[in-house]
Structure 1
Amino acid sequence: MTAPPPSMTSPSLPSITSPSPPSTVPSPPTAPSFPSIVLPVKPPVNVPDPPPTYPDSIGERNLSYSYLNNSTKRSDGSKSLEAFLQRVKTENEKNELKKKVKELHFEKEQLEKMVEMNSDQIVDNNKLSKKKIRKSHLQQLYNRQWEEEKIAHEQLKIEFEILQKKVTEMEEKKGLPSNFDAEILEAQDKLQQLRDIKLEIEKQKIKLENERTFIENEASELEEKAAALAKEKKQLDEQAEELAKRRGELELEAEILEEIRHDLVVEREQIETQAQAIFTNIALLQEAKSAIVSGRVEDFIEILTNLSDVDMILNSDSSRYTLLHWAVIYNQTEMVKALLDKKAKLLSTTEGLTPLDIAKRAVERGDKFKIPIVEILENALVKQ
């Protein structure tokens, strides 16, 4: 059967009270021996033993079986709940049995009334014996029915109390999420953060109050300074007039300085150009020495062609040996000729050795390759 949806509050479970024992059916009084009167008697009803179920009020309770079923799946009493729901399904059968019992009660009451109404009439002993037997049968049937209901009632009462306890426990936990503790901790953290923010705001408020007081004090000092500055301004205005006159003089001086600066810029550009040429010649000088050592005549002649200041490079005293010295040492005859064509001088080293001296000493030591170089240098020396 369909149960109503569970409410937000705990369902109100009805209390179960024990049924009162049946009243003893009074036995009919002993009738005198009179002519018998035939009474309409119904045949005995064969009532089967009903299964134990809940009281009649179970259909009226606002109890969500679906809610109990879903909740008890997580408990150890799931089997008891399934048995309980099975008994609930047989509620209609129980009601039908109770209707039959009520019919038997009604029949019993009719018999009692008929006995009382006809107590003064003649009743056949045989008929009366049958009535007694039927009454005794009804009494036994009723007592047995009552005992079965009493036992079932006690059993259901125990199970009902267990279910009610489970419902109460589930209802107490109802509405609390599984992460309730985590949410509480998170809320506490947020509360602590808000408290920290509030404390920080209070500190900032005190700090701003102190700054406001400080600013007010500074404002008072600034007002005093403003008055003093007003006096100074008057003096400065007077000085400004004098400076205006001086300004004209300085502008004239500035024009003169600008002309001087322009001349210096031009001179600096010339110096930079010369320095760049010197750096270039020094680099070419290094390449020329490398060409002499490796015997690259064509490269050497090309380097001499690119030299911008031949006299400074070829006849410089900054080096121990000139290019002409190196050409003589490495027996580079063509290079010696090229250097002499470029007006290279036969300068002496720090030890006083000219390229010719170096060539002659080599010839004296047996270096025949320097004989042509000696002749070339002697001819050049005569010309110089």
Structure 2
Amino acid sequence: MNWIAIRMLTGDAQKFYGLLFGIAFSTLLITQQLTIFVNLLERGSSGVYNVSSADVWVMDPVSRTTDVAYPMPSTALDKVRGVPGVAWAVPHIRANANVRTSDGDLEGVAVIGVDDATLIGLPRGMAEGSAEVLSQPDSVIIDDVGVTRMFPDGGALGQRLELNDQRAVIRGVADAIPSFTSTVVLYTKYSQALNYVPGTRNRLSFVLVGKADDITAQQLVDRIEAQTGLKARTRDQFASDGVQFIVENTGIPLNFGITVALGFIVGVAIVGLTFSLFIRDNIKQFGALKAIGVTNGKIRRMVAVQAGMVGFIGYGLGVLGTVLFILAFSGNPTFKGFYIPWQIPLISLVAIILIIALTGWLALRSVMKTEPAAVFR
């Protein structure tokens, strides 16, 4: 009976391919949009994970993310260093500025000042050059995404920039996780950053802290907050704060949620309509099967096999399309580091099962109402 069901399904090529298209398109839309959504949210924590050596971030109590921070007085660094359990603590500055390239173009950038002695605050990897280039006068390191935006033809090394009326020379390219806004990032020493981005009396954005071996990160956070009155967050906590900030203050979750819902609705509409037409066109065949003694239970299994076959193939094509999409745009800076979390295909699978179950049930109702005598009329 299952073989007969498959033959009935594939015998009508137009409707068979229509069903496959509906499931594949719905899977592609749901999986692709969820993948982009999750990866964009993770960009909110890029500033934290680019500094892999810091166990704890200390900031002003009103600061929320790496990009939304209120500067502290320089004395905050000494306060943090005096807390038991702090193995090391270094200053970290993050500020916005405008640069003028040698071609005269103006670009908004983020200037990050890293510790002069240890260079803690730089991304772990370098795409070109080395971190030691910051010891040279007026040196900055640009992130690799920034290179593609400011110098699409390549050749960033050695380029001179006018940064707030001061000279800056690009001598390295960092392999960094892009920010949520894909802003160009320039790394330099903390002392040099203070000259590049003059501002108010308080300039210190964060204090990066490494914990001692005999204490956990959370215990150190509690000690710092109790003894200094400043806000402290573990690396993972602060990364989550960046993601939560995007969720609470942008329309991204709503927009992507609407798109995913539309993918589900479109899948139900296309598959439901096509499946119903397929059942209607084959209603006499189902009536003939009933006339020769095929029970309703076997009819249900036949429809289930048809729906399952379409769902399995269409789901596979949709997931494959998402993988090909990510691979095709992997060279684009906007999609750098994008990946498909394993939970997303599972969510898509649940959605497709619901679509198949709903449309199959609706189509099966007309089959169950068919009388065997209808085939002889």
Which TM class, normalised by the smaller chain length? under 0.3
Radius of gyration: which is bigger? 1
Higher relative contact order, structure no. (Cα contacts within 8 Å, ≥ 6 residues apart): 2
TM-score (normalised: structure 1)? 0.19
Structure number with the higher strand fraction is: 2
* TM score, norm. by length of structure 2: 0.19
Q: Which has the higher helix share?
A: 1
